[in-house]
Amino acid sequence: MAFHRVGNYTFQWTDLHLPREKTDPLRHEYDTLGHNAVKRLQQIARQRKGEASVKPTLCPGGFDMYAVLRDYHDQDDVLNRLWNEVHTVPDWVDWAQIERGQKFFYRYAPANLMGFMLQAFVGENSSVPGVVEVLVRTGGFSTKVLLRRLLETFQHLLQVTANLESIQPGGQGHTTTVRVRLLHAAVRERILRLVKSRPDYFDVAKFGVPVNVLDSIHSICVYSCGHMWLQLPQMGVFPTEQEKTDYIALFRYVGYLLATPHEYFSSVAQAKATMESMLLHELQVTETSRIVGHNMIECIKDRAPLRVSVGFIEAGSRILNGDELCDSLGLGKPGFLAYGCWRGHCWFVQSLALVQRWVPGADEAVVRYFRNTLYETLVNSKRELRGRSEMDFRHVPQMGKRIGKEGSELPKFTGSLVDRPLEMFYLAVFGLGCVLWLGVVGAILRMHLLMLS
């Protein structure tokens, strides 16, 4: 069977891979239950406000959709079906496995976070035409609000991996996931409603329905499979088969809650083939991709406390996504120093993973440390999100609203490399690594010469 290369990743086509004839129609399928439920929720919200006689307003936000679903589901057939669906645990869910999968995120947290930002967000997410067309219409990718959006994404990720109770029905991760499903349905409902009055607002024939089944399958791949094959191995960290099985099982369940067909993630081999099929069929850089990629980098660069440079972001993105994709996204070509820092990052996460495998107790300590600190730093910090977000429908698509390339909202960074703590640390690791390598090579050469003399 044929070999394919996408970016720096090569794979062989198998019977498990999905041909275009199978994937393309999925662009026109979507979560109809969530869609109808959101319409009912909007109707109930209007009735509660005493606006029952008013014809549907074009602005569907401004109320807590999850609270209305929770409080009214037993009075409405559609809402009841949705409530029951998300509260029914499929028989393929094995809670012990899900719990092991949750640890994976924290076990390799520095590698996972870096991979998620640079491969999943900067590279892959920016390169899916249908997804970026939706993102530029909500306004959520404006650099003024993008940081909050990213942190909300991390909040969701941290909640679904927090502990078992959190992802079980009624837990915080479970509730947030249902909120996200309603948010997706609201965005879709809103865009489709605008399309009804102005068909050229969003090209449904070309991009499919907004937040469609194919894009959702792709997103679950980005969330779970990316770490296993596109990110960690490129940093020198190789997840075990058990880790792959467990983490993919966790996201198979998260996908199920988000109305994403779960059979594409029923085994590690199937999930890998699904991810590779998406890479082959779905990545296509457009002008809108360049806007999304640009704003993403503007949002994350130079931000305190780590103050990561554009060069470092570009070096990491190029290693993870390949030069071709990064060139077409318009990323610059960084110098040797940036690649040195990136290599330092790889050696650091690689050494940490080795210590975790060899030293008893180290793994538990690392998992505990990141579990305790990440939520505090990313969600509870007074600086950005300032506490848990309820994933409200805040960025409502409007006719004529579409974000373009924007500059950073931060003042221009005027410091030097010394003012960039993460890169300074990675540079030190790189320097140390080089000295160690030279020492080893020197010792081998000396032994060789001794043997010859």
Return residues touching ligand HEM (CB under 6 A). Answer: 131, 134-135, 138, 140, 149, 152-153, 156, 180, 183-184, 187, 211, 215-216, 219-220, 223, 255, 258, 260, 391, 394-395
Nearest distance in Å: CB 95, ligand HEM: 20
Which of 222/352 has CB closer to ligand HEM?
Answer: 222
Which of 394/405 has CB closer to ligand HEM?
Answer: 394
Which of 126/219 has CB closer to ligand HEM?
Answer: 219
Nearest distance in Å: CB 202, ligand HEM: 11
DSSP three-state, residue 3? strand
Nearest distance in Å: CB 163, ligand HEM: 18
Nearest distance in Å: CB 262, ligand HEM: 11
Which of 130/311 has CB closer to ligand HEM?
Answer: 130
Nearest distance in Å: CB 138, ligand HEM: 3
Is the dihedral angle over the CA atoms 108, 113, 118, 119 positive or is it negative? positive
CA angle 277, 283, 289 (to 5 degrees): 155
Nearest distance in Å: CB 89, ligand HEM: 18
Which of 152/246 has CB closer to ligand HEM?
Answer: 152
Written as one letter, the residue type at 156 is: H
Inter-helix orientation angle 129-138/172-197, to 10°: 90
Residue pair 181/34 in contact (Cβ under 8 Å)? The answer is: yes
Residue pair 331/293 in contact (Cβ under 8 Å)? The answer is: yes
Which of 193/394 has CB closer to ligand HEM?
Answer: 394
- Residue whose entry in the numeric block shows the structure tokens 């990313």: 378
Q: Give the chain's length.
A: 453
Report the alpha-carbon distance of residue 384 to residue 13 in Å, rounded. Answer: 44
Which of 216/356 has CB closer to ligand HEM?
Answer: 216
Nearest distance in Å: CB 245, ligand HEM: 20
DSSP three-state, residue 213? helix
Tokens standing for residue 381: 């910090």
- Residue whose entry in the numeric block shows the structure tokens 């198998």: 14
Q: What's the Cα-to-Cα distance from 386 to each of 180, 225, 369, rounded to whole Å?
A: 19, 30, 21
Tokens standing for residue 142: 């404006």
Q: Closest by alpha carbon to 209, among 254, 259, 252?
A: 259
Which of 132/280 has CB closer to ligand HEM?
Answer: 132
- 111 CB-side CA count, 13 A: 30
Nearest distance in Å: CB 353, ligand HEM: 25
Residue pair 60/42 in contact (Cβ under 8 Å)? The answer is: yes
Tell me, rounded to whole angstroms, the distance of Cα 266 from its chain centroid: 20
Report the alpha-carbon distance of residue 114 to residue 136 in Å, rounded. Answer: 24
Nearest distance in Å: CB 285, ligand HEM: 16
Nearest distance in Å: CB 255, ligand HEM: 6
Nearest distance in Å: CB 372, ligand HEM: 22
Nearest distance in Å: CB 133, ligand HEM: 8
Sequence-distant (≥ 6) Cβ neighbours of residue 4 within 8 angstroms: 10, 11, 12, 13, 276, 280
Which of 214/349 has CB closer to ligand HEM?
Answer: 214
Residue pair 212/27 in contact (Cβ under 8 Å)? The answer is: yes
Which of 121/426 has CB closer to ligand HEM?
Answer: 121
Is the dihedral angle over the CA atoms 393, 395, 399, 402 positive or is it negative? negative
Which of 222/320 has CB closer to ligand HEM?
Answer: 222
Q: Which long-range contacts does 361-369 make (Cβ < 8 Å, 24+ apart)? A: 363/107, 366/106, 366/107, 366/109, 367/103, 367/106, 367/107
Which of 68/257 has CB closer to ligand HEM?
Answer: 257
Q: Closest by alpha carbon to 409, among 285, 310, 294, 298?
A: 298
CB closest to ligand HEM, residue no = 140
